[in-house]
Structure 1
């Protein structure tokens, strides 16, 4: 069954948590005891209706303030697809949480309050979605019930967003008018908007085409571990296990192991349910080779026709996540795919103003939640692709050597 990961984005009070609560409630994905707890919480708050946003806002401070602070993950399924939802916060000071939730998403739901139109946070989150190369955006024009389900109000928001979207790089943008509170066009088609001829949100999520989002042309296999069973049956077995990050592998393919540059031929490809004649992203497999060559965790097996970059000087766009900025000369563990090396920040090129998309080259003092282009120098060669080419081999995190804190997440350029 196909899995779709999606994230929510938008300004404070646009109704992100309510929308997800409505999606779970109307698709019958909530247990009775969960629903009962939400009803009791709603009564304690003195509300006339059941507050569905409480299904995702789990922290006490979130419930008290009626805002989302941390990323909340929710899982549900329909007969057509499985879903993982990342409900991310709307406040500017939680930009790093938004980046975390969006980093693995196939699709972003951008919520807009129809009365307010496109605001600063709408632009910020849409830009982050394009920076993280999320291929699909569904713009949910929410709170249509508060403007009497006006087609004119909806068209005005569509016009505003399309004018902004011309500046960002997203292939597929769709618009759905809805009321998360009343349930219009979330799971069920709305009778209040006969002028809208499109599909409901859930129907769009179930049918949107995501199979071609994977990179099936550039073969990438980061080695996670080496399998050497000691059983007599598999006495000479040496398999390299991991998850394919791109492309297609078949027995008989000529391969190169990077960064060493050693070459061999694929002997067999094994899975939990037996050998296969071809494997592709995102399958987890064990590959055996014709030759006994040195391959270990952190190496990458690639096919000769599409080799990635190998370098110790790396340009990256990062989101700084730590409360304190980088210390001069500090060492960081750089983690990308299964490889981990030590690195330092060699140069800061510029900071990106997410509101205006301007590059600030003068002030390079990095603070929390800021997006920055930097150059890293590593102790060993790193195998990578540009992020726009492959989201798995093109992403990285930096971990502070002294505190073990994840201080930045980024993409290779």
Structure 2
């Protein structure tokens, strides 16, 4: 627990975080409950509102008192929050139990879990964004990741309207997928229109901006991937200059082997040649295990096993985002799995998520986003997947 007992600071002015808010933000990132014994701003700064509400951590206080007043103003609300549950944010985190007065207790606040655009349809979908945002809110989601900024035949929509829709329904836009490159010089990709891509990401208030394109622009040799990695470093530096993180989302082919050196896994080249402070990864867990199925043997037949989770555990800070999608094991399928709704498959998400969130300092550092590439019905998938992740909350 972090308790602020420092001298009272002057009222906050402007957008800059005062010292008390910086310490409060550090407490959130470390997964620590926070108590403010001073009138200082602390967690009450507007810039921290969303992170505070979605953290799932107990927090209370705006001035320290003594005796009975103290019990009412700080520990009382804190224990109430811990008992009846607050609004956890990134990941299926849980609120710790605590002894509290047995009655009366207010009804639990809705627990939320992150979303991805599986139930926020892609540009080809026909559902208007307004319906999507309200439905996601109803199912307990609090984050969305974009894969395009349009709404198909529902009509045009501006970035400002898109951001406002998300905000009005308690959804934080957390990232977006944009193409890596194109032969069209006017294409909306990182390679062709980096400035425009970053301008739009800033307009939406994104903290992450990335691509689901594999680094195959120059081929599948080691040098080809080194060249692509250098471009990723460039995009990462440009994103960082604007306060964002650039990331790459994998499919299964990233775990294949270099054509000029079949003992080298291409994903390892990407990790080694990109700057860990500039280029981050969004692991699509389904596709990572599909890669395990496809590429646990080298082209010469030699054994080359790997565990996707190990990549994360070795460098957890490089994986701020995850796509949670599920699959039923099916060796007759070319990918080793048939994609199903989250919770209906054989991928052990309790094991995977627990291993990541229990790392010291990592509980609040990751965002778990449900996804299905071709759901039978998007809203049904969103509802069922949210329910499953909520069921894991007390186990991870």
- Larger Rg, first or second structure (1 or 2): 1
Pair in the same fold by TM > 0.5 = no
Higher helix share: 2
Higher strand share: 1
Give TM class, smaller chain.
under 0.3
Higher relative contact order (CA 8 A, sep 6+): 2
